[in-house]
Amino acid sequence: MAKWTATHEAPEPLEGPVVATVTGGTILWFVLFLVQIPFYGWFDDHGKLWWVWTCLAGGGLGLIGIWYVRGRDAALKRHAAENAAAAVLPGDDSGPSEV
């Protein structure tokens, strides 16, 4: 079986408000969990108790996601600042030195 290779270029990655998106999703999962708590008995009676725990798991995974994307965002900003500082070094002519 031959190895498959793509015949088109990969699209550019989407960059946007990733931290805000993940934070919003995490808040939504926790709100859904809290809204379902008063109906715990109903979910249990109808065999749909997993809905409650799915929302809690989504919120918990969202907390891990927030930690991850905040670190990623900080690393991207740090890398951009290092590149900007390296591009403009004061006093560095990079030419032949005059004696």
- Residue 99 pLDDT greater than 60, yes or no: no
Question: What's the pLDDT at 14?
Answer: 79
Q: What is the pLDDT of residue 1?
A: 62
Per-residue pLDDT, 88: 78
Which is more confident, 94 or 75?
A: 75
Contacts of 37 (CB under 8 A, 6+ apart): 52
pLDDT by residue (tens digit) across 8-31? 888 888 788 999 999 999 999 999
User: What would the pLDDT profile of 72-88 be if each residue is shown by its tens digit?
Assistant: 999 999 999 999 888 87
Domain boundaries, the chain: 18-83
Model confidence pTM above 0.85: no
